[in-house]
Amino acid sequence: MAGVVEQRSIDVVPDSERHGTAFSQFTLWLGANLQITAVVTGALAVVFGANAFWSLIGLLLGNLLGGAVMALHSAQGPRLGLPQMISSRAQFGVRGAVVPLALVIIMYIGFFASGTVLAGQAVGHLTHLGDTTGIIAFGAITAFAAAVGYRLIHALGRIAGLVCAVAFVYLGVRLLERTDLALLLHDRAFDFPVFLLAVSLSASWQLAFGPYVADYSRYLPRHTSARATFWWTLSGSVLGSQWSMTFGALAAAAAPAAFVGHEVSYIVGLGGTGLMAAALYFVIALGKLTINVLNTYGSFMSMVTSISGFRGQRTLSPRGRSLYFAGIMVVGTAVSLLGKDSFLTAFKDFLLFLLTFFTPWSAINLIDYYLISKERYDLDALHDPNGRYGAWNAKALAVYAIGVLTQLPFLVTHFYTGPLVAPLGGADISWLIGLAVPACLYWLLNRGNSAPSGARGTARATTTAPHEPTGSK
């Protein structure tokens, strides 16, 4: 077990511990996306007004656009050997990175909670112990698997990808036996605002992976092709999410009253009763376990990164790791129990509102890594508030704030609608603004620099630390 339990946290993974191939990103992200919450996301496009035909096209477009941004983050992992969010210190400063990190932590706990609601229902039905007990049990299993770490997470992805793919083929056949696909796709009336809603739903789904995607590629050998990492990540994530979302959109179009609000029972009902129903409850729980472990592990990395920016630590003891995971489980499970009765509407708004905060971070991080620093960072300086990147980068934080604020006039949520939405026919284009504006501003402020504006020092940026850090104990 000692060789399986991960010892590292936010420290650099040395070459001697690197392993695997870029194909591991395909299996992980396929398994992470073939699951019930992605099904619900696809269904939301139909629930909120789009017909099935344009829902599927809009969902695919959003998955491709958001997935490309997410996969560019994934390609950073082998090169840097670091978790995703610690590289934000190169843009925002060693302590300034806590600003996007705090929002990332909220995101992970939100996804943990929303996923645990659906998985808890499946576990509760499978064990006949009820939803509340199922939610608590699922939260505990999630925390344990995340604490074991990287190897188990990838193993879960491979298993879930295979098992859930078989289940989704079976469910797809059963759905088509009950409905006329040609009839579902016959209505092709185009409504631009609801089409953009479908694009935004799937784009937000993919973009929300960005803050932790490199966590799961950082153990790949340094020589792993960035192109291969990008394409395997993109293909696995888009295939898995589009497959799940297509099923959800078609199910919502075919039987809105039976599916919406009863997603788990509807899916199980497609399969039948007895052993088949039990098997489908297990598949739902397994699919959610994979993604919930990613959310818990990402939350752990973000919390450690936030605190270490002020304490200066690079490693964490096994006891410290356990305490972090226990805290995440308690908070996430509590949120699940409190919000389980108003899940669908809250989750739609949660997904869209996340774009407001994470598209500017993605834009700044990618522009800095690929165009400003040209894939080179001073890894020791990422831990030193007095070093090259400084403690706070006011310019980057200002660009980030502008990126958030410029989206508000174009934002559509249940609790807020921007003033420029009506002239656009109700379309939500905030995420496009959130990518374009901060990307352009950050590039203009830092072009010609080998490091972000405001960073101190003149040392050459490098992706290799001058010494291997000690492993976490």
DSSP string, 325-345: HHHHHHHHHHHHHHHGGGHHH
- Amino acid at the residue 91: Q
What DSSP line would sit under 399-452, residue for residue? HHHHHHHTTGGG-B-SS-B-TTTGGGTT---HHHHHHHHHHHHHHHHHTT-SS-
pLDDT for residue 212 is more than 60: yes
**pLDDT given for residue 268 in this prediction:** 81
**pLDDT given for residue 18 in this prediction:** 92
Residue with tokens 């796709």: 185
**pLDDT given for residue 62 in this prediction:** 95
pLDDT for residue 456 is more than 60: no
pLDDT tier, 341 (very low <50, low <70, confident <90, very high otherwise): low
> In the structure encoding, which two tokens stand for residue 105, read together?
């932590």
Range 304-320 average pLDDT: 75
- Do you know the residue count of the chain? 473
- The CA distance from 296 to 288, in Å, is 12
- Amino acid at the residue 90: A
Q: 332-366 burial by CB neighbour count: b if 16+ within 10 A, else e?
A: bbebbbebbeebeebbbebbbbbbbbbbbbbbbbb
Given phi > 0 = left and psi -120 to 50 = alpha, else beta, which region is 224?
Answer: beta
**pLDDT given for residue 267 in this prediction:** 83
Q: Is the dihedral of CA 382, 328, 18, 205 positive or negative?
A: negative
pLDDT for residue 338 is more than 80: no
- Amino acid at the residue 459: A
**pLDDT given for residue 229 in this prediction:** 97
pLDDT for residue 69 is more than 50: yes
What domains lie within the chain, and their CATH numbers? 15-354 (1.10.4160.10)
pLDDT digits over 378-412, tens only? 888 888 888 889 999 999 999 999 999 999 998 88
Helix 226-254 and helix 192-207, axial crossing angle in degrees, nearest 10 = 130
Q: Which of 16-20, 226-230, 330-334, 385-389 has the lowest mean pLDDT?
A: 330-334
Q: Which of 39-43, 90-94, 292-296, 331-335 has the lowest mean pLDDT?
A: 331-335
- Mean pLDDT over the full length of the chain: 84
pLDDT tier, 72 (very low <50, low <70, confident <90, very high otherwise): very high
Whether this prediction's pTM lies above 0.85 is answered by: yes
pLDDT digits over 240-251, tens only? 999 999 999 999
Question: Who contacts 443 (Cβ-Cβ below 8 Å, separation ≥6)?
Answer: 367, 371, 372
**pLDDT given for residue 237 in this prediction:** 97
Residue with tokens 């192109």: 227
Q: Residue 457 to residues 86, 156, 311, 379, 386: CA-CA distances in angstroms?
A: 19, 43, 22, 13, 9
- The CA distance from 315 to 323, in Å, is 14
**pLDDT given for residue 159 in this prediction:** 95
Range 99-109 average pLDDT: 83
Q: Which of 29-33, 74-78, 147-151, 303-307 has the lowest mean pLDDT?
A: 303-307
Say if residues 370 and 72 touch (Cβ distance below 8 Å): yes
**pLDDT given for residue 180 in this prediction:** 87
Say if residues 38 and 205 touch (Cβ distance below 8 Å): yes
**pLDDT given for residue 364 in this prediction:** 96
Question: 125 versus 170: which is more confidently predicted?
Answer: 170
pLDDT tier, 342 (very low <50, low <70, confident <90, very high otherwise): low
Report angle CA 346, 47, 342 to the nearest 5 degrees. Answer: 25
